[in-house]
Amino acid sequence: MKKASLPGILAAFVIAALAVALPSFAGAYPLQVARNVILYMALAVSWDMLLRSGQISFGIAGLFGFGAYASVLAVLRGGMDPWLSILFAALLSGILSFAIGLAILRLRLMYFSITTLALAEILRIIIHNLHDFSGGPEGVVLEGSIAGGNASALYLLSLAGLAVAIGTSLYFEKSKLHLALTAIRNNETSARSSGVDIFRYLLIAFVASSAIQGMMGGIYVQSYGFATPESVFDANFTLLPLAMALLGGIHSTIGPMLGAILLGLAAEWLKLQIPYGHLVVYGIIIIIVILFMPKGLYGLARGGRKSS
Amino acid sequence: MEESWSSTCATASKRNKTMATIAGAAAFVALAIWKPTVLIYGTQQAGLYASIAIPMGLVLGIVHIVNLAHGEFMMVAAYAAYSLSMATGMDPLIALIPTAAATSLFGFLVYRLTIRNALKAPELNQLILTFGLGITLSQITNILFTSQTRKLSLDYVSASVTIGELSFGIWSFVFVAAAIAMTVGLKLFLTRTMMGKAAVAVGQNPRGAAIVGIDVDRTYGFIFALALAMVGAVGALFLTKSSIFPGVGGPFTMKSFCLVAMAGVGNIPGILAASLLLGLSEAFLRVFRELRGWADIVFFVLIIAVILGRSLKERKS
């Protein structure tokens, strides 16, 4: 296993310190942009965690929306503390994905992907139709945002969510799990014959990445104070993290983070340039990355360093 | 030993098939007596589903690509037909022919420029690539036409028939006709023509086909263009009946994939049966006021049930 270099660790500390200190020198708008970037970064990293096993999930929006509703309904219907409800969202998403995973993690390739996409739709339709409980198509409104809507607090909350995502992903990268997942991706049969308990590792990765997605849904919804099926189950919550991870470089923690920063900032700028249809950029980036640099930017940099 | 096992298997599956056919026919008759409208509208919807799914089945069966931009190609074709009939006053039914040709050409170009280069890549890359193509197509349409819905008003679409107390629209049966025409046409093409036979061979074993001198690359391109011509025609037909907007195609990608997976890859008549099941169950749920919102879920439950069922069966054998 590769040891992290000293300059690398130092750089990571500086960046982390800057990220934590951002509210003390940035205004409301940059903080808002940063929150968006952080949200998508956490989703991109969590998506990659499962992808390392070779399983592509198209269901990020489903778990995100499920977590959002779990959190909002726990507060509204169960009178739960909003902060606690975020953990509750993570827990419930984890439990749900455990149950789902038992059934669908035996599927491979396109069958797994399509099933996750279908499950996301099922969750959305259920929320859409449970009028009395979930508020139906009109959604539900909380009494207010968490922490009174204080911009710095909301930013730090998102950052905490991201820290959980990155921490889990780094732990996965350094632990035995990483070897197991990589083995499954590269050659499942040989992984199985060398005694890797494939199903168990897939389940761990699936539950962990889903819990993070649910948690981010909880953070999102508590920050904005309302949820509608269309806003929290938006397909963009699947699409954007996927494009970011691909651009930055999949099968790593740094790649998706890099992609999230680049695309997240670019998206803010493009939103002003092309109000309708700025997502076309995401589509084109996906196509170009797949065709010309399937390893992403981080992969290119890593490959370049190796060959030089 | 093995032979006898497979023959018992065959008889068992034959018996299952007969039973399923009988049960299906009984349900059909019961439905016709109890709620004829469910039968009529369900069948019409099934025709639409099938006519969009069949081209996807063709591509998946021969080129082995899951085209996640399938529905978006249909949407683009509908917009092309819309623009053509707005510009020239042409009826979309006539615009169908140039639309099919243009969609075929456009699809072929997209195939050559993108998908063809990912044929040898892992399936992951192909899925994500076509996913990206779909977004690009719908977003470009969004930029060009805005997200406003568009619709043509055509007289013949509201044609209806009254039998006794029952009155229903008949125009949508055009989709049923299209689906049947495609199934029969493809069957003839794949079994009677040289090109079609070669395509089947390529679908079964591309390397073997290449060894016996079939140009695999050309066959792939041809089949993709053929499928896109069908998609183009369906897009123009779709325009006659429905409003269009940039996101209108997306759901059909999934529905088509579900139907193809239900039928089994390479089984085009099976797509008709699967579409009928989906169309009728949706129409059935729509009868009940309180269940109406749940009709959309049928399809997704069905897709998961089918995929899980298939994976179970595969593991057993």
What is the tens place of the pLDDT at every residue in B162-201?
777 777 777 888 899 999 999 999 999 998 998 889 888 8
Q: What percent of chain B has pLDDT over 90?
A: 27
* Interface mutation target, options A52, A105, A263, A286, chain B, most CBs of B under 10 Å: A286
Would you call B56 an interface residue with chain A, using a CB distance cutoff of 8 Å?
no
Is A205 domain-assigned?
yes
Pick the CATH number of B36-316 from 1.10.3470, 1.25.40, 1.10.8, 3.90.228: 1.10.3470
Tokens for A221?
């919804």
- Using a CB cutoff of 8 Å and minimum separation of 24, what contacts does A81-89 make? A82/A142, A82/A146, A82/A222, A83/A146, A85/A218, A85/A222, A86/A157, A86/A161, A86/A215, A86/A218, A86/A219, A86/A222, A87/A215, A87/A218, A88/A218, A89/A214, A89/A215, A89/A217, A89/A218
pLDDT at residue number A293:
80
Sequence-separated (6 or more) residues with CB below 8 Å from residue B2: none
Closest CA to A88 of A101, A73, A100, A102: A73
Distance from CA of A40 to the nearest CA of B (A): 18
d(CA B311, CA B317): 10
Mapped onto helix, strand or coil, the DSSP state of residue A140 is strand
Range of the structural domain that residue A175 is part of = 28-234
Sequence-separated (6 or more) residues with CB below 8 Å from residue A247: A258, A259, A262, A263, A285, A289, A296, A297
Sign of CA dihedral A59, A62, A64, A67: negative
Would you call B140 an interface residue with chain A, using a CB distance cutoff of 8 Å?
yes
Is A67 domain-assigned?
yes
Task: Look over chain B and give the mean of its residue pLDDT values, rounded to a whole number.
Answer: 84
d(CA B63, CA B190): 14
Is A165 domain-assigned?
yes
Contacts of B134 in chain A (CB under 8 A): 283
The DSSP call for residue B104 is H
- The count of residues in chain B is 317
Q: Please state, as a whole number, how many other Cβ atoms lie within 10 Å of the Cβ of residue A16.
A: 13
Cα angle B313-B200-B15, degrees, rounded to a multiple of 5 = 35
Is A172 domain-assigned?
yes
Residue B287 reports pLDDT greater than 90: no
Residue B14's pLDDT band (cuts 50, 70, 90): low
Q: Which residues in A have their CB inside 8 Å of a CB on B?
A: 54, 56, 58, 103-104, 106-107, 109-111, 113-115, 117-119, 121-122, 125-126, 128-129, 239, 242-243, 246, 274, 276-280, 282-287, 290-291, 294
Q: Please state, as a whole number, how many other Cβ atoms lie within 10 Å of the Cβ of residue A115.
A: 25
Contacts of B143 in chain A (CB under 8 A): 274, 276-277, 280
Region of poorest pLDDT, from A140-149, B56-65, B72-81, B211-220: A140-149
The domains of chain B are located at 36-316
Is A79 domain-assigned?
yes
pLDDT at residue number B2:
39
Residue B275 reports pLDDT greater than 60: yes
Contacts of B142 in chain A (CB under 8 A): 276-277, 279-280
Closest CA to B231 of B16, B8, B70, B117: B70
Contact between B54 and B234 under an 8 Å Cβ cutoff? The reply is no
CA-to-CA separations, B153 to A254, B231, B247, in angstroms, rounded? 53, 22, 21
In chain A, the residue whose alpha carbon lies closest to the alpha carbon of B295 is: A125
Name residue, tokens 């197509």: B137
Total number of domains in chain A: 1
- The count of residues in chain A is 308
The DSSP call for residue B246 is T
Element (DSSP H or E) covering residue B160: strand B160-163
pLDDT at residue number B317:
59
Contact between B75 and B251 under an 8 Å Cβ cutoff? The reply is no
Is A75 domain-assigned?
yes
